[in-house]
Homo-oligomer: A and B are copies of this chain.
Amino acid sequence: MADRIQTTPRPIRTPLSGEDGIDLSIIELFFFAYRDFTSDPDQILEAYGFGRAHHRVLHFVNRKPGLTVAELLDVLQITKQSLARVLKQLVDAGYIIQVPGPRDRRQRELYPTQTGRQLALDLARPQSRRIDAALKALSADERQTVEEFLKAMVNSDLRQQIDQISDRRQDARGLNEGEG
């Protein structure tokens, strides 16, 4: 008995804080901020029987209409099997339509329908409101600071992707001249 070593390991009673210059408060803030940020659309999605995965797909299809399945997989960094179910549901429910690629007919270009556009906006609105409220007190410069911080948090090899989505104005492929 006497030579049993450390049967119950000692509980540590000092709160973790700032060791090695680690800033835990920002880590936590980021966690809480993102959780609440996603909770707004989550509530709306529930009424549609959709989840966060549907939201992401719908968002990027709206953001870059005509993107292909492969491009979408690249942005979302998930497998095609994971995308398949979600995408199918969005297509079946009439929020997204698939159009064979004009150049390469193997590709499926993804477009939102009017309903899909509307839902995407409805989902973005509360998030935008939350961000606006958080930025309300900030000057234009300060807002720029926040944006640069977020951008710097992203893996550098993915920043290009983001720029493409955010900045690129669609090459005028003909605006809404779909079928009648």
Contacts and interface: CB of A to CB of B under 8 A. Distances in A.
Interface of A: 8-17, 19-37, 39, 56, 59, 62-66, 77, 94, 97, 99, 111-117, 120-121, 124-125, 127-128, 130-138, 142, 145-155, 158, 162, 165-166, 169-170, 173-180
B117 A65 contact: no
Copy number of this protein in the oligomer? Answer: 2
Contact of A128 (B23, B132, B147, B151): B23
Contact of A147 (B29, B113, B165): B29
Contacts of A180: 10
Q: Is the interface of A mostly helix, strand, loop or mixed?
A: helix
A9 B147 contact: no
Contacts of A151: 29, 33
B8 A97 contact: yes
A118 to B, nearest CB: 10
B134 A149 contact: yes
B134 A9 contact: no
